[in-house]
Structure 1
């Protein structure tokens, strides 16, 4: 209980009660409580991007470090990025990457900004991109049961993320999941002028607050 934890940490029963009441105790008392609960107490810069984040006792041979680029993919009008630098790495299990059909050497990650892909992809989400998958296909008979694939691409110097589908031989649709954003139609020439970074294979909601 909170009372027992307080007594074990500092010798009286008021510590957890004070925290629940909104009274912040001294750092020495917090440290004593955290040590009791086997929780790290850390004060410093945000540590969400740590190189090669590894789960405890992980078999490192089973993990692949995927680079997270310091670049935004706009779910909207387009985000202009300069020279993309690697902000850090995230570790993925190799067997999971094989399951979803992504080779570690072809995988990169970036963040998405904007609201055009809501409610599927939110602003601030991280996406895993397979750079080997750049061909745009028609859904064919699966049109009624599946959605077009999501791609990351650069158009007129701006990086974007949208669903893209070939609807005719030389005609493509660029589609947002948010119905407030209209469908864009592209000719084969316009698509050829775009740089397809790759297909988005996975995304994760992240707390940007």
Structure 2
């Protein structure tokens, strides 16, 4: 990919397009050692996953082209996340898909193979999320970043969406954006029973 890009655009213009230094491309071109951070940035710019680790299963990534732009279909799962007490989901099936521009996903470090779309029910996350809103869940982002919004399976097995805070590794606080819904806490063993499905990285409001 890099050799073709250099051949088509020239070394300096292609480096500028990718947002990397000319030296990085020269290193790749000549086969010299390249720093890990440079390779990671380069892979992200090319829309590639940079991964070092044991073999793992990955799903297929489909590409749709529309008006000259590449789109990735993101699966829309027939399941619901309760912005409240919790939603019970039985057999989950694929409801369809929505197409997102691949460059838009890449800019936000979102891998099409690691995200899905679900529907929110309830009003506890209003005005951020409303009943019927569609949300995109990044299943790679399961480490709690305080004040970020996550989809989770609570200790009773129900699927929920809440703003989370990890307090000194002693408790997890589940907060609703709607002030009429009180905050909840999970301590001790209940912290480990809380399963984070992923971080909410996009939402669409239903009118």
Aligned equivalent of 1:67: 75
Q: Which runs of 5+ in 2 are unaligned?
A: 1-61
- Aligned equivalent of 2:67: 57
Q: Could you say which residue in structure 1 is the equivalent of 2:113?
A: 105
- Structure 1 length-normalised TM: 0.65
Instruction: Quote the residue 1:197 is aligned against.
Output: 197
Structure 1 consecutive aligned stretches of length 4 or more whose deviation exceeds 4 Å: none
Task: After superposition, give the CA deviation of every residue in 1:6-56 in whole Å (9 maximum; x if it has no partner).
Answer: xxxxxxxxxxxxxxxxxxxxxxxxxxxxxxxxxxxxxxxxxxxxxx9x795
Report the equivalent of 1:137. Answer: 145
Aligned to 1:154: 153
> What value does the CA root-mean-square deviation take over the aligned residues?
1.7
Instruction: Give the match's secondary structure for 1:79.
Output: coil
Contact 2:153–2:160 (8 Å) recurs in 1? yes
> What is the number of equivalent residue pairs in this alignment?
144
5+ long unaligned stretches in structure 1 = 1-51, 139-147
Q: Determine the C-alpha separation between the residues in 1 that align with 2:91 and 2:200.
A: 21
Deviation at 1:77, TM superposition (A): 0.4
Indicate which of 97, 104, 128 corresponds to 1:96: 104
Counterpart in 2 of 1:5?
Answer: none
Change (3 A) 1:98 1:136: same
Q: Which residue of 1 aligns with 2:127?
A: 119
Corresponding residue number in structure 2 for 1:128: 136
Counterpart CA distance in 1 for 2:195 and 2:118 is: 16
**CA shift for structure 1 position 188:** 4.5
**TM-score under structure 2 length normalisation:** 0.66
CA distance in 2, matches of 1:188, 1:128: 30
SS in 2 for 1:80: coil
